[in-house]
Copies of this chain bind each other. A is one copy, B any other.
Amino acid sequence: MIFQSDNSAAACPEVLAAVTAAAPATAAGYDADDHSRQLDGVFSAVFGRACTVLTVGTGTAANALALAALVPPYGAIVCHEDAHIHVDECGAPEFFTGGAKLMLVPGAHGKLTPAGIEAALASHRGDVHQVQVRALSITQSTETGTVYTVEELAALGAHARARGWRVHLDGARFANAVAHLGCHPGDASWRAGVDILSFGAIKNGGLSAEAMVIFDPALVEDIRLRRKRAGQMPSKGRFNAAQLLAMLEGGVWLRNAAAANAGAARLAAVAGPDAGVRLLHPVEANEVFLALAPGQPEALRALGYGFYDWGAAGSNEARFVVAWDTPAAAVTALAEAIAATSG
């Protein structure tokens, strides 16, 4: 009955099996082990391009390290005003970059557009008195459960490139987006101009490791050093690497994400407009945002459902997240409870 976050989900069997297999062995530390050495090759094959993969312990670390590599301390990063890097990382980007600024851009359903970016920056002169915009950070899937199309991503990437900005993709739920789009992972990343992808695994059945997928080799050495300095270089790196390899092997990452997406779609279908509840955003990944009725959040919590309030205090907006392992019956029960409390 936990719909707060996919962080509450189990670790999937493949990931656990990989950790279990790696546990008894003796191996070189600090990424010199056999698992870690496979990362670049496996990710390069999946993404269709040579890349370097460094594991870290949290998505926040992946994002903040990426941004620190992309902008100077006097830099600025354009992102959506709802972006996790702004709202939910306790200032990690500012910490890791040495005080760069996030330039917030509004946009419907959590999405940036080139026009929206231009409008938000219309009065930014960019002279010596102001921070220098140097990067764009895109969240895919977005904070509101929508997914940029490949064309939308490519347009954003081209917009950034034309201005000389680097591009970061916060892919805490990248798997959900790719599963939704049915596209090649490269189409949703480097082909759209992405320099560094924060590849989320923990929410998607992982245990304790995320990955930075670095498409620009010129950035790697800098990130390696920043990662060590940030306490993000694991001494027994094989346990991080084993989790990521298990995720990619046989497409577990897409299987898990597709399951979560399907659950969310079903929840939206049953608990949404048909049940008299307004969907706040299109449901394209594994999150469902609902405009509940006054009193309904309390009623659902009284029934034992866990979820986050969203938006401003008192707005009765709520977010429900379906995870890779959420039982179908739990989704059905929640949908029925929403319908039952909605009027």
The one of B4, B23, B76 that contacts A11, using a Cβ cutoff of 8 Å? B23
Contact of A128 among B57, B209, B224 (CB under 8 A): B224
A207 at the interface (CB under 8 A from B): yes
Q: A128-B233, A208-B208 are in contact. Are A239 and B11 (CB under 8 A)?
A: yes
Residue from A64, A208, A323 with most neighbouring chain B CB atoms (10 Å): A208
Measured CA separation A28–B234 after assembly (Å): 25
A90, B61: Cβ atoms under 8 Å?
no
Residues of B within 8 A of A128 (CB): 30, 90, 224-225, 228, 233
For A76, the chain B residues whose CB sits under 8 A away are 91
A72 sits at the interface (CB 8 A): yes
Nearest CB in chain B to that of A86: its residue: B101
Looking at chain A's contact residues, is the secondary structure mostly helix, strand, loop, or mixed?
A: loop
Q: Which residue from chain B places its CB closest to the CB of A56 in the assembled complex?
A: B231
A8 to B28, CA, bound (A): 5
How far is the CB of A321 from the nearest CB of chain B, in Å? 10
**Nearest CB in chain B: distance from A263 CB, A:** 14
Q: Does A284 contact B (CB under 8 A)?
A: no
Q: Considering the chains assembled together, what is the distance between the CA atoms of A96 and B72 in angstroms?
A: 12
Q: In the complex, A20 Cα to B99 Cα: how many Å?
A: 39
Asked whether any CB of chain B lies closer than 8 Å to the CB of A155, the reply is no
State the CA gap A245–B57 with chains docked (Å): 19
Shortest CB–CB separation between residue A300 and chain B, in angstroms?
A: 17
Per-position binary interface string of chain A over residues 220-231, scored 1 when its CB falls under 8 Å from any chain B CB and 0 otherwise = 001011101111
Query: How far, in whole Å, are A11 and B4 apart by their CA atoms in the complex?
Result: 32
Which B residue's beta carbon lies closest to that of A200?
Answer: B235
Say if the beta carbon of A329 comes within 8 Å of chain B: no
Size of the A side of the interface (Cβ < 8 Å), in residues, is 83
- Count the copies: 4
B208 adjacent to A88 (CB under 8 Å): no
Q: Does A35 contact B (CB under 8 A)?
A: no
B207:A19 contact, CB within 8 angstroms: yes
Q: Quick check: is A285 within 8 A (CB to CB) of the other chain?
A: no
Q: Which residues on the B side are within 8 Å of A58 (C-beta)?
A: 231-235
Question: Among the listed stretches A45-53, A129-137, A141-149, A287-295, which one makes contact with chain B, having 4 or more residues with CB under 8 Å of it?
Answer: A129-137
Decide if A29 is an interface residue (CB 8 Å cutoff). Answer: yes
A269 to chain B, nearest CB (A): 23
Q: Does A311 contact B (CB under 8 A)?
A: yes
Tell me whether A61 and B231 are in contact (CB under 8 A): yes
Known contacts: A99-B98, A100-B94. The answer to whether A9 contacts B26 by CB under 8 A is: yes
> What residue of chain B has the Cβ atom nearest to residue A224's Cβ?
B128
A87 lies within 8 A of chain B by Cβ: yes
A-B contact pairs, 12 of them (CB 8 A): A7-B29, A11-B23, A11-B236, A16-B23, A28-B306, A60-B233, A61-B232, A74-B229, A88-B129, A90-B128, A90-B225, A96-B231
**Other 19 A-B pairs with CB < 8 A, given A59-B231, A63-B231, A95-B99:** A7-B30, A10-B26, A16-B20, A19-B19, A19-B207, A30-B128, A56-B231, A57-B232, A60-B228, A89-B229, A89-B231, A90-B225, A90-B228, A94-B94, A96-B231, A123-B312, A123-B313, A206-B236, A230-B230
